[in-house]
Structure 1
Amino acid sequence: MVVLTKPSLGQVSLTRPQKPNHHHPPGIPVINLSEPGAEALVVRACEELGFFKVTDHGIPMELIAKLEEEAVKFFALPQTEKERVGPASPFGYGSKNIGCNGDTGWVEYLLMEITSKPMSHASLAFLTEPSASSFRSALNEYMSAVRKLACVVLESMAEGLKIEPRNIFSKLVMDEESDSVLRLNHYPPCPMPEASEGVVTGFGEHTDPQIISVLRSNDTAGLQISLRDGSWVSVLPDRAAFFINVGDSLQVLTNGRFRSVRHRVLANGLKSRVSMIYFGGPPSGERLAPLSLLMREGEESHYREFTWCEYKRCAYKTMLADNRLGQFEK
């Protein structure tokens, strides 16, 4: 796999080591989706951490491996060929620069807009070329499967919360106008700075704006999540499982009962890391506010109502680490 074209370490940010957490860090919840009682475990994980791993998810490993193989082939192309796809604005190919507000990372990526309609890749013209047919096929199969998985998890949340209808969350990502995204990230092996006071950031700390994120990676470590006390815990990779993030929008819908998880990726000195993330978002005009079904008697809404389009515009104007929800709180 090809590394980025000799990017200098001055172009990416350093993360200073955090104060160690002397308490035994909690394990990442692992939930078998087919076992009885999974719904209650999903709710507890969303409340306590905003992050968990799912197994027995029903997506064949062959399908997962197929898209990963296509991603590896794409990122191994000469830099000039990859740049034909971009620049990411926001969709397309990007390298080192994340967004348009100065965030940088030791990463290159492909960002694609996904809808429930037949897949539209208007910003990725290369996918219409005959040579990209296997990539296009892998994307379609993977997206169909991972969207269904997102809905299974979201419906488990509704069941665990004992609210009706069962699809109260999942209908938002299955809507024909749902604003969903697939991101393929490649973190090349990183020549670590000698005697550095920090480590190189692959992708800076942030929360995901959407409702739910479904992610997986190859066998290379790097992902970390933040606990409530501000300490960071490394997530061991598991290429056969999927990890679920609660997004900002779901935090709003549950009036803060579910918490959007803050996470980051640190660069690896020796191995490439490839990750694939599906971000399930609501339709652009969807109005987001805490669901009355989840409000306890006398409980007040922590957020003012806003549309997903409004929130997304706000997110694009911020830095990764900013608290985007802050300006929507009451």
Structure 2
Amino acid sequence: MMGCQEWPEPIIRVQALAESGINSIPERFIKPQSQRPKTESNNCVPQKQGFEDVNDVENINNINIPVIDLQDLYGEDKNLKEETMKRVSEACREWGFFQVLNHGVNHDLMKSAREVWREFFHQPIEVKEKYANSPITYEGYGSRLGIKKGAILDWSDYFFLHYMPSSLRDQEKWPALPNSLRGVIDEYGEEVVKLGGRILELMSKNLGLKEDFLMKSFGGESDIGACLRVNFYPKCPQPDLTLGLSSHSDPGGMTILLPDENVSGLQVRRGEHWITVKPVPNAFIINIGDQIQVLSNAIYKSIEHRVIVNSNKDRVSLAFFYNPRSDLLIQPAKELVTQDRPPLYPPMTFDEYRLYIRTKGPCGKSQVESLTSHK
């Protein structure tokens, strides 16, 4: 498997650091001035691109990513169905992020999924360390992304596991405590994989492609790659100096995020400004990844996002990554390539693509932009 065997430095468990009662964060977590959330929100002037009459920060703070109710897709009313399709299309083209309601996943299951992981992160450290991960696959309990020595670290711990293809699913690598975790996550994964398939169909149709185009490009229902990263963001004594997760676009196909409904933290880049997403109860947050940007020939774009942390509350979120099979070549759909719009990206497998992320860690949109001369 790709990657190096060990982390370049001793791992710092952020939760343990936060619970030790420190009043200031170690230098390794302090971001450069330009990346600090407080600096950005106070100093940057919002661009009007994509907004109506955005004149001040207060207006920006009242904006949320699109919220789309999917129930009309499955009803009899053709007009309502078309209207919902149109809203999904606009969200994909203009935002790259949207929230979905009436998505078909049981609300109690969503709640249970959050609760079992919160319980896992509050297990004794020796229980969690049994699952400590390495950069070879990232599977297990971790606290950093990327193997660059001396990198500035993010204020978060996580647990990463493979769900699809089923040959990679190894429940022995999933936490045994709490006792219900393995069963809950197996069921949750099954439901979210189905939701991902429905969203891919919508995106394919809206691009003017056959409804199974994106699914086939990902390898088909039994061969897609799907994995879960559960993020734990401990409370932080100096949240204005660091980030829970640095700015990045997701390298995979699409992300289905179950946010913490009690604490906001996800921020989406919009023009020159960062918008804090306000989670809607029982909704998932969907976002376009780099692989769909490539397949759509940049009609749909992956969007930079990051996570801010909180001085009073911990935060848990479940990011389910819906990816192409790792050895398939991904390239712009021939139907979306014209004389006026040539292919913007060379063919590349997802394995080749994500090696960059696993080496360098999150780096804005530099990876996908480095693939094309059409910048």
TM-score, structure 2 normalization:
0.79
| Distance 1:78-1:173 versus aligned 2 partners, 3 A rule | farther
1:111 to 160, 175, 183: 160
Match of 2:173 in 1: 125
Matched, 1:12 2:29: yes
Match of 1:310 in 2: 352
How big is the shift at 1:297?
4.7
Match of 1:62 in 2: 108
How big is the shift at 1:285?
1.5
Counterpart amino acid of residue 264 in structure 1: R
Cα-Cα RMSD: 2.2
Determine helix, strand or coil for the equivalent of 1:269: coil
| Distance 1:251-1:12 versus aligned 2 partners, 3 A rule | same
Partner Cα separation in structure 1 for residue 230 and residue 113 of structure 2: 10
Matched, 1:76 2:134: no
Offset from partner CA, 1:34-90 (integer Å, 9 cap, x none): 222222211111111111111111111111111111101100011222111012431
Determine helix, strand or coil for the equivalent of 1:256: coil
Matches within 5 A, 1:189-204: 189-192=235-238, 198-204=240-246
Partner Cα separation in structure 2 for residue 270 and residue 34 of structure 1: 36
Instruction: Decide which moves more: 239-248 or 297-306.
Output: 297-306
Partner Cα separation in structure 2 for residue 200 and residue 235 of structure 1: 18
Partner Cα separation in structure 2 for residue 251 and residue 5 of structure 1: 38
Match of 1:280 in 2: 322
Determine helix, strand or coil for the equivalent of 2:153: strand
Matched, 1:186 2:232: yes
TM-score, structure 1 normalization:
0.89
Counterpart amino acid of residue 5 in structure 1: A
**Alpha-carbon contact 2:250-2:302 (below 8 Å) kept:** yes
**Alpha-carbon contact 2:45-2:272 (below 8 Å) kept:** no
Offset from partner CA, 1:165-210 (integer Å, 9 cap, x none): x1111342654332221010111111127xxxx4421111100011
The count of aligned residue pairs is 319
Match of 1:169 in 2: 214
| Distance 1:173-1:82 versus aligned 2 partners, 3 A rule | farther
**Alpha-carbon contact 1:103-1:320 (below 8 Å) kept:** no
Quick check: which one's helix share is greater?
2
Match of 2:140 in 1: 92
Partner Cα separation in structure 1 for residue 200 and residue 110 of structure 2: 21
Determine helix, strand or coil for the equivalent of 2:244: strand
**Alpha-carbon contact 1:47-1:259 (below 8 Å) kept:** yes
Determine helix, strand or coil for the equivalent of 1:62: helix
Match of 1:293 in 2: 335
Match of 1:28 in 2: 65
Counterpart amino acid of residue 77 in structure 1: Q
Alignment gaps of 5+ in structure 1 = none
Matched, 1:223 2:266: yes
Identity fraction in percent: 28
Instruction: Decide which moves more: 23-32 or 270-279.
Output: 23-32
Partner Cα separation in structure 1 for residue 254 and residue 299 of structure 2: 15
